[in-house]
Structure 1
Amino acid sequence: MEVHIQLDVFNQAYLPLLDDEEHRYLVLYGGAGSGKSVFAVQRFLVRMLQKELCNILAVRAVAATNRDSTYALFRQVIAKWGLGELFHCADSDLRITCANGNSVIFKGLDDTEKLKSVTFPKGELTEVWIEEASEVSEEEFNQLDIRLRGGGSHKQMVLTFNPVSVLHWLKRRFFDREDPRARTLKTTYRDNAFLDGAYQETLESYRDADPYYYAVYCLGEWGVLGQTIFDAGKVTGRLSRLGERPCRRGEFLFETYYDEACREVLIDQGSIRFLESDSGPAVIYREPEEGVPYVVGGDTAGEGSDYSVGQVVDNVTGEQVCTLRGRMDEDVFAKQLYCLGLYYNGALLSVEANFSSYPIRELERLRYLRQFVRQAEDSYTHRLRDAYGFRTTAVTRPVAIAGLVEVVREHPEWLNDKDTLEEMLTFARNEKGRAEAQAGAHDDCVMALAIAYYSREQQSVFRKKGNVQWTHDMREDYENASPEEKRMLRKRWGEDLLT
């Protein structure tokens, strides 16, 4: 059917999707007033007119909501484009039929039996539109996905929704992992050239009146269901301002020394280098500056946790400058932390000791210079002694978390890592009042960063220049080292001011 549509009737942001025949899933999400649902309808009408076979099933979670939303929107665009003679709209059974036989049927997922009986006069189902997809369960989506099969024509699903919760299955399925069959597009009211001026002013009024509502519902940031202990408005506001921040991603490579028994004893500091890689566990947001003291908080992968995480904080400014996050064995994590600490000027490493002390002992064996020191009770004498590593207890945990809550409230601009910020949105109090990650979420980044800020008191807050004064333990290690090890230790620590 020869129908010519002027491109200026579409919002420019959506034009690249107009002729998409490659992807099975088109995921249109964002804030209110962005025009995503209108574009979906415009695109469906063009396809119904131009394609030989285009039968659409438009669904919402509840069937009754279609009449005043999806069905009404189709009728509105048909009237606006003057296509009334080419489309027949049947209000009684919510069906729209094109003059060439293609049609669209509107159904709800609250009556699956009726959904199974849907048939089209002209051929098979070719496309599915899920409006307000965030209201649909993943199981319901899967059933629709399975239904869209067979035949020789291209099958496609279009999802339109506003992000609600960072724990939603939509985020996990289409954003937390890469599916080559899916194409996503985020838009906001700022992308809608046809938006009513008064409505635009209403949306923008929330920027100051309710920053959290503005970030989630106007700017389309992933929100949170329930009450996070962190200021959700500050977190989502920071997320919306991150944009495409310049950073380097990769991992540390190194060589090690071996003793006479072929045991690995030290990492050669001179061999450490950062290899850039798109899949690397380390993300550098700010390179180390000469003389600046840094603190690294570490959280090992334990029960209910998939990731080992290191968070680097500039101890002068408080800024989060690097994140190490990945699934790795404990010895690998320890060596990456070792390199990370040296990379950031011999940073203070404060690694959580609850689940396993192996990374701490490995750092000690490798003779890492500075680890966080806590008071621990000797299991034999019951006397207090110094021990490496941060231990999460009923006393230290709430204090560390409270410190991070204050950082988020007072200095959200310090935070640069998207994964960390999103974890904060799912860190809430349970029914017993304990602050923890919600079911299905992680807390590795949050806890590592809380540990880093908690440990800052053991690190200097002043820039260091020139040589340093070694401690007694450092001099003792130096005297017991081999000539090659002494050379490496001087390079690592700097020359002792007292020698």
Structure 2
Amino acid sequence: MAKHHSKTFDIHIQKEAFNDVYLPLLHCQKRYIVLCGGAGSGKSVFTVQRYLYRLLTEPGRNLLVVRAVQATHRNSTFALFHQMIGKWNLTPLFEIAEGLERIRCKNGNEIIFKGLDNSEKLKSVTFSSGELTDIWVEEASEIEEHDFNQLAIRLRGGTVSKQIVLSFNPVSVHHWLKRRFFDHPPKDAVTLRTTYKDNRFLSPEDGAVLESFRETDPYYYQVYCLGEWGVLGKSVFDAQAVNRRLNEIRSLPVRCGSFVCCEQDGTLHEIQFIDEPDGAIRIYSPPKPGVQYVIGGDTAGDGSDAFVGQVIESRTGRQVATLHRSFDEDVYAKQMFCLGTYYNNALIACEVNFSTYPVRELQRLRYPRQYYREIYDSITRDMEYRYGFLTNRITRPVILAELIRIVREQPELFCDERTLNEMLTFVRSKDGRAEAASGAHDDCVMALAIAFAARHQAAGPIEEE
């Protein structure tokens, strides 16, 4: 039997049977293999092919295949193993128990299929011989992180190397999989992102169907066909443009930190920027002499969001810096003061919906340039002027519509990853309101929209110190 196995999986046959993009992972020994990609990318087929190869050539390997719901195995993973065994003419080497959804290799290695909807049955998984060595979590984006942690705990001890493979479509930018394996990848993990363009076995008809979504549904094409991070819903921003920009940006902030200063004679002096690895302020482009800047500010409101500042060049609209942190209001006001001073006494347009304190604090500290709004007094028939930007049912849709247009036409203006990711989770609700998706935030988007809305007041000479 060993000779037959060797002949079946001769290296030349391997190269013909597998998509080239996956071949480097065939013998990978990392603890975690994370396959992230769009529809038709062949990641599930490769996973089945790889496990068949390992089960036939490596003694003492037993595989547990997991999905969120047990019943989904029959028409997905179990069916795919069955199909591939027949396609590779391996039927004499396997015993397939249809009703039990269990596959046994003649060399003693086994495959068991289970769902997370029955945790008790999952705990009782045992193999005819040997120990559990491998877990494949198909559609891993459907399971919770605590369930994954429990699976990982099961792979410990023993004499045979252990491994977990996760395969999924990256539908949500806020998913734990992105945070755990892509934002901060562990050393014992390897990730691979693929699309239908990497699958040379995809039929021309299926490829044409996926390609057609490029024009008919750009968001679906970007997220479900190209496997870009998105949300379970439609972003009000051009998701294709935003994802393209996310893939383009490579540079980290020029500086990261916060300001220190001292208050004297009712204003701030001795302003210095202190570099900190995890500082509240990210500077992507330092101030240029003679350039006008605008800072849009979004306050924390009910405390669920951070205080944010978005700095843009007044003329070009280019994003040059961000401030993002959960502050006390007085600290936020002082950081905005210092940030504005640093950027040539930038025009500061701070939201006043929830609190006027930051605006009043900037006024007390005699910050030289704040955005003002006009208020008509129907009794005196005079026009009054108040500091701060008021976001209401009239102004909100207007400033968001303008930002949506700018992002669609000039995505290259934006360089902050947090802001771009937030755009992807800014969706249209059932009642038509543009807002953050459930569990997401809108503070970066709103601060940026306010900055663009205030640009018209930024004209004028730079204030000399």
> Structure 2-normalised TM-score?
0.82
CA distance in 2, matches of 1:329, 1:53: 58
Q: What do residues 152-199 of structure 1 show as CA deviations (whole Å, max 9, x unaligned)?
A: 544432221112233545445545665556543321123334433443
Note if contact 2:242-2:407 (Cα within 8 Å) is conserved in structure 1. no
Residue 85 (structure 1) shift: 4.8
Note if contact 2:222-2:228 (Cα within 8 Å) is conserved in structure 1. yes
Note if contact 1:53-1:102 (Cα within 8 Å) is conserved in structure 2. yes
CA distance in 2, matches of 1:425, 1:244: 16
**Does residue 318 of the first structure (1) align with residue 311 of the second (2)?**
no
**Does residue 161 of the first structure (1) align with residue 168 of the second (2)?**
yes
Query: 2:454 aligns to what SS in structure 1?
Result: helix
CA distance in 1, matches of 2:416, 2:336: 18
2:104 to 97, 101, 109: 97
**Does residue 424 of the first structure (1) align with residue 423 of the second (2)?**
yes
* AA at the equivalent of 1:455: A
1:248 to 232, 238, 252: 252
Query: 2:74 aligns to what SS in structure 1?
Result: coil
Shift of the 42–316 alpha-carbon distance from structure 1 to 2, 3 Å rule, reads: same
> Structure 1 residues 313-322 or 81-90, which shifts more?
81-90
The answer for the alignment partner of 1:74 in structure 2 is 81
The answer for the alignment partner of 1:14 in structure 2 is 22
Q: How does 1:380-419 map to 2 (within 5 A)?
A: 386-419=385-418
Note if contact 1:257-1:264 (Cα within 8 Å) is conserved in structure 2. no
Note if contact 1:235-1:408 (Cα within 8 Å) is conserved in structure 2. no
Shift of the 252–138 alpha-carbon distance from structure 1 to 2, 3 Å rule, reads: closer
Query: 1:14 aligns to what SS in structure 2?
Result: helix
> Structure 1 residues 143-152 or 122-131, which shifts more?
143-152
Note if contact 1:164-1:222 (Cα within 8 Å) is conserved in structure 2. yes
Query: 1:34 aligns to what SS in structure 2?
Result: coil
Residue 430 (structure 1) shift: 4.9
Identical amino acids, percent of aligned pairs = 55
Aligned length: 454
Q: What do residues 70-114 of structure 1 show as CA deviations (whole Å, max 9, x unaligned)?
A: 223324444555544543333343322233321111233444454
Unaligned runs of 5+ in 1: 471-489, 493-499
Note if contact 1:252-1:336 (Cα within 8 Å) is conserved in structure 2. no
Unaligned runs of 5+ in 2: none
The answer for the alignment partner of 1:202 in structure 2 is 209
The answer for the alignment partner of 1:38 in structure 2 is 45
Residue 297 (structure 1) shift: 0.8
Residue 452 (structure 1) shift: 0.9
Shift of the 258–212 alpha-carbon distance from structure 1 to 2, 3 Å rule, reads: closer
The answer for the alignment partner of 1:371 in structure 2 is 370
The answer for the alignment partner of 1:59 in structure 2 is 66
CA distance in 1, matches of 2:218, 2:30: 38
CA distance in 2, matches of 1:205, 1:163: 20
2:270 to 268, 273, 279: 268
Residue 410 (structure 1) shift: 4.8
2:225 to 179, 202, 218: 218
Query: 1:29 aligns to what SS in structure 2?
Result: strand
* AA at the equivalent of 1:314: E
Shift of the 10–345 alpha-carbon distance from structure 1 to 2, 3 Å rule, reads: farther
* AA at the equivalent of 2:261: T
Shift of the 17–344 alpha-carbon distance from structure 1 to 2, 3 Å rule, reads: farther
* AA at the equivalent of 1:192: N
Shift of the 453–108 alpha-carbon distance from structure 1 to 2, 3 Å rule, reads: same
**Does residue 29 of the first structure (1) align with residue 31 of the second (2)?**
no
Note if contact 2:62-2:110 (Cα within 8 Å) is conserved in structure 1. yes
Note if contact 1:247-1:286 (Cα within 8 Å) is conserved in structure 2. no
CA distance in 1, matches of 2:333, 2:27: 50
Q: How does 1:85-484 map to 2 (within 5 A)?
A: 85-138=92-145, 140-149=147-156, 151=158, 153-171=160-178, 174-175=181-182, 182-228=189-235, 230-231=236-237, 234-249=238-253, 250-252=255-257, 256-257=261-262, 259=264, 265-268=267-270, 271-272=272-273, 275=275, 277=277, 279-286=278-285, 288-364=287-363, 366-375=365-374, 386-428=385-427, 430=429, 434-460=433-459, 468=461
Q: What do residues 115-140 of structure 1 show as CA deviations (whole Å, max 9, x unaligned)?
A: 34432011222222121223335565
Note if contact 2:66-2:137 (Cα within 8 Å) is conserved in structure 1. yes
CA distance in 2, matches of 1:140, 1:251: 36
Residue 438 (structure 1) shift: 2.9
